Structure 1
Amino acid sequence: MSNMSQNDMQAQWSQFVEQWNESVSRSFEQNMEAQSAFMDAWADAFEGSVPDEDQLNQGMKGYTRAYEVWMDAAERMMTRAGDVAEGEDVDATEFRDIWLQSANKAFKEVMSTSAFAAGTGQFVETMMEARKQADAASEEALQEWGFATRSDVMEVGERLVELERRQQRVEDKLDQLLEEN
């Protein structure tokens, strides 16, 4: 081999390693951002409520198991990166799949805890209260504009049902009177 081609090979190898390091670095950064976003969303679900000790312990255990899943994924990524550095042909989708599978497993670890269930329950309760307030505001606005509201329609429906019952009773009495005559 000539000196030039050996230098070219070293340059290509350096460029490959540099690109690989940037790719792995981006993957780790995206992983940390995903974990951070997940924890922010989880913390928001608990905002305004304090879980009991058992829920808190379970929540921390779930998060710890999720963290272990992420660290296992990082280790698998580094192993496969080492395989690439040794010349093995590794499909790039394998790296994506490692992160996607790990993300699913990590989320399951956290979502299966009673703490997450309690936080989700608190979130749903908050959303239901917000919906009630929005419904009340909508109803008030519709009334002010002279439109029929849901309550108005429900009331009309109830009155119609009652009128149908009364009509049926009157018809039954008329039939009874006609039979007697």
Structure 2
Amino acid sequence: MSDSQPPMQDWNAFAEQWNEQFLEALEDNMEAQAQFVESWSETVGEASDDTEISDGVEGYARAYETWMTASQQMVERANDQLEGEDVDIEEFRDIWLNTANEAFKEVMSTTAFAKMTGETVGDVLELQEQADEAAQETLNSLGFATEGDVVEIGDRLVELERRQHAVEQKLDRVLEHVEDKQ
């Protein structure tokens, strides 16, 4: 037992290690936030309307405030744990998950985000249309029936059935007329 450290030294080493890990996680979080800010500011900077820019910046500011509040909660709960309070580790996870949801809601509710999302969806739909056209042209050049061909054939069949039905009705009327004359 002479090789082992007294219990207080074990606790101090544990607390020091825990604090270092917490500070590393906090630094990583701040770095992630800085990258988010940079990305967001680049995107918002591309917005054409001053109102959108202002709305985007305000949304980010609210999101940043949410992150800072969460950081403060984390420090407070870590201090509570160091003072001996029984703090469930899931509480730390929940703080970050709830904060992420709230911060993203702040950003996603802006007109700048809506505009960028709309533009992105529009770009994706345009690319999809171009890809569909290229696929149709390729299938057509290879002699395969395309979706357009199948739809056209279906439309023609429906029209033929309609005409046939009309001819049958006329023929039935002619036959009735001939039978009545006899």
- The bucket for the TM-score relative to the shorter chain is 0.7 to 0.9
Give unmatched runs, 5+ long, in structure 1. Answer: none
Summarize the Cα distance change of 1:172–1:35 in structure 2 as closer, same or farther, 3 Å threshold. farther
The AA in structure 2 aligned to 1:75 is Q
1:32-79: per-residue Cα shift (whole Å, max 9, x none)? Answer: 4654665677678x5996331111111111111010000000000000
Q: Does 1:158 align with 2:133?
A: no
Residues of 1 paired with 2:170 and 2:117: CA distance?
Answer: 56
Task: Determine what percentage of the aligned residue pairs are the same residue.
Answer: 52
Residues of 2 paired with 1:40 and 1:138: CA distance?
Answer: 39
Structure 2 contact 74–95 (Cα < 8 Å) conserved: yes
Residues of 2 paired with 1:105 and 1:13: CA distance?
Answer: 36
With the length of structure 2 as denominator, give the TM-score of the two structures.
0.84
Q: Which has the higher contact order (CA 8 A, sep 6+)?
A: 1
Stretch moving more, 32-41 or 137-146: 32-41
Residues of 1 paired with 2:7 and 2:162: CA distance?
Answer: 93
Count residues with an aligned counterpart. 176
Residues of 1 paired with 2:19 and 2:88: CA distance?
Answer: 16
User: What are the residue-to-residue correspondences of 1:12-51 with 2, within 5 Å?
Assistant: 12-32=10-30, 34-35=32-33, 46=43, 50-51=47-48
User: 2:9 aligns to what?
Assistant: 11
User: 2:125 aligns to what?
Assistant: 128
With the length of structure 1 as denominator, give the TM-score of the two structures.
0.84
Summarize the Cα distance change of 1:101–1:159 in structure 2 as closer, same or farther, 3 Å threshold. same
Structure 2 contact 66–99 (Cα < 8 Å) conserved: yes
